[in-house]
Amino acid sequence: MIGTNGDETTKTPIQLRVIHPTFLGEMVLPLYPEMGLSGVTASKMDLSWQKNNNAETYVVDVSDNPSFNTILFSETSYDSKFTLKGMQNNTVYYWRIKPENSCASGDYSPVYSFQTGISNCSIAFEATDFSQASMETTPGVTAFVSMNILDNIIIDKIIVNTDISHTWPGDLTISLKGPESINAKVVLFTSPCSGDGVPDIQDITIDDAAAELACSGVAPAISGSVAPERSMSLPFYGKDAFGEWELILYDAYDGDGGQINSASITVCDLQTNTSTPSLQHSDITVNKNTSYTITNADMNATSVGGGNPHIYTLISVPNKGSLALSGVTLAIGDTFQQKQIKGGLLKYINTQTASFSDEFKVDVINGAKGWFSDTTIKIKEATLSLDSNTLQGVSFWPNPVKNIFNIKITNPDAEKVFIRLFDLQGREILQVTEASNNATFTKEINLRNISSGIYLLSVQQGKKKSINKIIVSN
């Protein structure tokens, strides 16, 4: 922009930004934490994602379920990051981003997931030198104790325990000072229980996760677990705890004195849950326009030492068919267990009459909250063949059959036996599921209501299958 006033001329640059009314399918992709990352801190973490040149702001959602029916954290950010605080330890979270500008909103990103770590709070460091722990009744006095940490521990969380005798706690300012290498100090309490006149702070645990301070009307004024007035851990998060720490009391008034009787600091470090389950799976082969009972041979989650129950969470659902548990259609975020697969309760319902392929995605978590993330289960169309006879020891009679039909398997496995009858167009006419508990499996099947014609008999146990032609002459 150029402005003139007689002989004077002024030039002022103007920055013009042009935004498009649509996002043209451009999807914002998360950068950190990457998909499936475990051991993330629950205290404070920056989510980050790719910048979109057409976006003025970004909507960030965080949930504990991929359906996002319940959103735990939601923020509109002007930058390509969002600082997340106050999560739970050893918990799986799901997050997504949507770009926006003054004209339009884009599509949500793919859903990403991560698991927070476990705070290991097993070692406390005690104060041993109490030579400066007492304060006189004169105003402006300070008392402190030192706690030496001799190990290199990366701080995830801090917990302080102390016992303080003082005739008027409301006169005190209580602080925690880190070692010189950190150079940080945090005020824990300013004039706690001011005006109550009740003495002493007895055996308290100062923990960011505890309840807010509640003062007692009888001595001691403060006891039990209490939260500081501001976060005690965040100023020190991610730093090395090695060095000398100080718990400091300051009394600005006269007439009351006291002392620190005991003090300790616990530094929690972050650990990853290593009780991770494994998931053995293979492509599921399904005939057109049929339902298929998913078995342990298709999906089997296990853990060292057991780890039950193994719980699946649906991250995405099939596009061509659907999943049903005990007849109820499943949606994103729904769960099912390995024992339900073993019991034959999970089915893939397929209504496709043309050639197809399909898939769905799952997470698995075990009884120890070990997590296996974002696994794709592929589904493909079966090709019926009269030459397939990989399941050995199958016999059947009579053939042709009228009314009653018999099937026998010698030396069967322990897996359930799935018996299906198809017409020559690939449509499923009959399905029977039976347990296999004996050295010889036998099953009598009633075909009285089946129309006369040529059919394909499929007998499957685990991943082994036998397909043969039978003739029904009712």
- Could you tell me the pLDDT band of residue 353, with boundaries at 50, 70 and 90? confident
pLDDT for position 406 = 92
Which residues neighbour 24 within 8 Å (Cβ) at sequence distance 6 or greater? none
User: Which of 227, 250, 271 is the endpoint of a domain?
Assistant: 271
pLDDT the model gives residue 439? 79
pLDDT, tens digit, 9 for 90 and up, residues 25-51: 677 888 999 999 999 988 888 999 999
Mean pLDDT (the chain) is 90
- Please tell me whether residues 66 and 149 are part of one structural domain: no
Write phi, then psi, for 339 (nearest 5 degrees).
Answer: -65, -25
With respect to residue 354, please indicate whether it lies within any of the assigned structural domains. Answer: yes
Looking at residue 200, its pLDDT comes to 94
Q: Is the Cβ–Cβ distance between 260 and 141 less than 8 Å?
A: no
Tokens 């949606």 belong to residue: 331
Is 11 domain-assigned? no
Let me know whether 365 and 406 are in one domain.
no
- Tens digits of residue pLDDT in 214-226: 999 999 999 999 9
Confidence of residue 435 (pLDDT cuts 50, 70, 90): confident
Grade residue 117 by pLDDT with cuts at 50, 70 and 90.
very high
CATH code assigned at 466: 2.60.40.3080
How many residues can be counted in the chain?
A: 474
Question: Do 130 and 262 fall into the same domain?
Answer: yes
Q: What is the pLDDT of residues 82-97, one digit of tens each?
A: 988 889 999 999 999 9
**Mean pLDDT score, 263-276:** 94
User: Is position 93 within any domain?
Assistant: yes
Query: What's residue 383's pLDDT?
Result: 67
For 450-470, what is the HEC assignment? Answer: CCCEEEEEEEEECCEEEEEEE
CATH number, domain at 49? 2.60.40.10
Same domain for 295 and 353: yes
Beta bridge partners of 234: none
Contact 370, 445 (CB under 8 A): no
Of all residues in the chain, what percent carry a pLDDT higher than 90? 60
User: Which domain covers residue 315, as residue numbers?
Assistant: 278-381
| 71 and 133 inside one domain | no
pLDDT at 302 over 50: yes
Strands 2-5 and 8-11 turn out to be antiparallel
Select, from the ranges 9-18, 72-81, 378-387, the one with the highest average predicted confidence (pLDDT).
72-81
Check whether residue 100 and residue 192 sit in a common domain.
Answer: no
Whether 327 is covered by a domain: the verdict is yes
Look at residue 385 in the predicted model and tell me its pLDDT: 54
- Pair 232, 316 in one domain: no
Distance CA 266, CA 406 (A): 70
What pLDDT, on a 0 to 100 scale, did the predictor assign at position 286?
85
CATH of the domain at 282: 2.60.40
What's the CATH code of the domain at 138? 2.60.120.260
Q: Taking 90 as the threshold, does the pLDDT of residue 241 lie above it?
A: yes
Among 5-19, 306-320, 452-466, the range scoring the smallest mean pLDDT is 5-19
Nearest to 144 by CA among 158, 161, 127: 127
Query: Which of 242, 271, 300 is the C-terminal boundary of a domain?
Result: 271
Buried b (16+ CB within 10 A) or exposed e, 268-293: bbbebbebbbebebeebbbbbbbbbb
Q: Domain tally for the chain? A: 4
Alpha-carbon distance 144 to 146, whole Å? 7
**pLDDT in the model for residue 411:** 72
| pLDDT confidence tier of residue 388, bands split at 50, 70 and 90 | very low
Domain identity same for 343 and 408: no
> pLDDT tens digit string along 145-202?
999 999 999 998 999 999 999 999 999 999 999 999 999 999 999 999 987 789 999 9
254 and 282 within one domain: no
Residues 187 and 111 in one domain: no
User: CA 334, CA 317: separation in Å to the nearest integer?
Assistant: 10
SS3 sequence of the chain: CEEEECCEEEECCCCCCCCCCCCCCCCCCEEECCCCEEEECCCEEEEEECCCCCCCEEEEEEECCCCCCCEEEEEEECCCEEEEECCCCCCEEEEEEEEECCCCECCCCCCEEEEECEEECCCEEECCCCCCCEECCCCCEEEEEEEEECCCCECCEEEEEEEEEECCHHHEEEEEECCCCCCCEEEEEECCCCCCCCCCEEEEEEECCCCCCCCCCCCCCEEEEECCCCCCCHHHCCCECCEEEEEEEEECCCCCCEEEEEEEEEEEEEECCCCCCEEEECCEEECCCCEEECCCCCEEEEECCECCCCEEEEEECCCCEEEEECCEECCCCCEEEHHHHHCCCEEEEECCCCCCEEEEEEEEECCCCCEEEEEEEEEEECCCCCCCECCCCEEEECCCECCEEEEEEECCCCCCEEEEEECCCCCEEEEEEECCCCCEEEEEEECCCCCCEEEEEEEEECCEEEEEEEEECC
Domain stop point among 117, 144, 179: 117
Asked whether the beta carbons of 108 and 220 are under 8 A apart, the reply is no
For residue 23, being part of any structural domain is answered with no
Domain contains 96:
yes
Of residues 255 and 250, more confidence is placed in 250
pLDDT at 211 over 50: yes
Q: How far apart are CA 101 and CA 110, in angstroms?
A: 20
The C-alpha atoms of residue 144 and residue 345 are separated, in whole angstroms, by: 64
Give pLDDT, residue 41.
87
Average pLDDT over residues 338-347: 93
Q: What is the pLDDT of residue 275?
A: 93
Same domain, 408 and 464: yes
For the chain, report the end-to-end CA distance as a whole number of angstroms: 93
Whether the model clears a pTM of 0.75, i.e. scores above it, the answer is no
